[in-house]
Amino acid sequence: MEPIVETTLGRVRGTTSSGISVFKGIPYAAPPFGDLRFAAPAPARPWDGVRDAFEFGPTAPKPPYHPPLDRLLPDPSIPGEDILSLNIWTPDLEMSLPVLVWIHGGAFVHGSSAVPVYDGGSFARDGVVFVSINYRLGVEGFAYLEGAPANRGLLDQVAALRWVRENIASFGGNPDLVTVAGESAGAMSAVSLVAMPDAEGLFRRVIAQSGAGHSAMSLATAKRISTALAEDLGVEPTREGFASIDPTDLVVAQDALSRRILAQPDPQQWGEVAADSMAFEPCVDGTVLPGRPIDRIVAGASSDIDVLIGTNADEYSLFLVPGGVDQGIDENVLRMMIGAYGLDVEAALAAYRESRPDATPGQLMTAVLGDWMFLIPALRVAEARAVQLLSTYVYRFEWPSSLFEGRLGATHALELGFTFDNLGVEGAERLAGPHPPQVLADDMHRAWVSFVSTGGPGWSPYGESRTVMCFGAESGQLEDPGADVRVLWEGIR
């Protein structure tokens, strides 16, 4: 069966299998090339007849993951210019079901909606209309350029949400019951959307997996990054200057700059980027993104939004373990790193060692970096909303992968196969290893579906007791887990 649906731009033809209809590669905005390069997303052109929506659309210009991450994170690359597209999985075209819009991760420079684990069939099977989107990455989406709107990648996401608002009812979705969800850069994007005036009224709930509201650089840092890249390219840091560079060549230069910053993370030269290594994350430009998302949330920006937010127990192992970096860290390096992040070295060492008594120096540094980058920002969102008595739920994913002799632990992105209930799809085993527990996927996926559908995932909200649902070999909710470590960061992060 090939269902046909009328959209505001024309008719699209999808496929149906096992009761799930799928539509892929539907444009929500015009290709951002030629005269539209570095512009705000423009309306897509209508089409005549019926457009086949059988395949994922082209992916945004991006570099490949470098070894060893390329062996762990699938990242399809599809040629073409119609990169601003979305995909839909729906169980019933005639219903009015809750909608989940998925924003992929990849540090704002990698990823796409075509990553196999993002298949939305399991959500559709359970009564949710699932939408996944592509958006501009790297320089094309996030470099600050004179003559171009800032945060173009975020503007793309808003354009996709507007398309959903206008069209999702035709696919069986309720436009008034939309959840925006994402992981890593996708979670940071979702929380950024909460802080954006342009996105107001386009969604009702947010799921943020391993990403929160601190990852937005200052305008001064954004200009510094663009100027450095312009110097490398021999052009001016303007829309006109960067538009003179072929997108493929721009990706090469962007990747080279990112690697240079990673090799020499000097805060005097690179500002906030020296700490998080994301040279092309969103910036606080004052218009598209009026302030840091966390600051906007503290001021009440998320008052009409339900939030589910959380992290993994060993987030940073993905970036240290596969290449063996963790095994080269000794006590001196650990102490230096703890001090560099503003913690009291002796107090932090004592607290982290007590929380992980058998940990090596490399594993302790992994914990410190993961808390700084992921855990504490997530808790700051939950704390700010708890003060305002807003519906907020916090989780922690603790099931450890068996890979790398178990050193990978509950690493960054490992939870995706569980929340999507896609442990069997291509590539899921690259992080999970053999025989991940299906019962845990059942529990997590059920909680995500419940939150999207009702606003409650099945455990107590975050408040004075700091309730956190811990998903692992034995799942259950705890009050303020890791409190001794959490308090170390007060006034620092």
Active site residue 412: yes
Active site residue 315: yes
Tokens 């992105």 locate to: 413
Instruction: Compute the CA torsion angle 5, 6, 12, 15 (nearest 10 deg).
Output: 0
Q: Which of 184, 210, 317, 401 is catalytic?
A: 184
Structure tokens at 109: 């420079």
149 in Cβ contact with 288 (< 8 Å): yes
Q: Which of 110, 214, 412, 445 is catalytic?
A: 412
Distance in angstroms between the alpha carbons of the first and the last residue of the chain: 53
**Where does residue 249 rank: exposed (0-12), middle (13-18), buried (19+ CB within 10 A)?**
exposed
Task: Compute CA distances 191 → 235, 319, 402, 447, 493, whole Å.
Answer: 33, 23, 31, 20, 17
- DSSP at 132: E
Structure tokens at 332: 């001196």
Tokens 């939870």 locate to: 415
Tell me the β-bridge partners of 206. 180, 307
Structure tokens at 354: 């007590």
CA gap 429, 189 in Å, rounded: 26
Active site residue 214: no
Least Cα distance to 54 among 114, 117, 137 occurs for 114
Tell me the β-bridge partners of 183. 209
CA gap 86, 82 in Å, rounded: 11
Least Cα distance to 219 among 155, 171, 167, 287 occurs for 287
CA gap 480, 379 in Å, rounded: 10
Residue 264's CB is within 10 A of a number of other CB atoms, namely: 10
Q: Which of 183, 315, 398, 415 is catalytic?
A: 315
* Residues with catalytic roles: 184, 315, 412
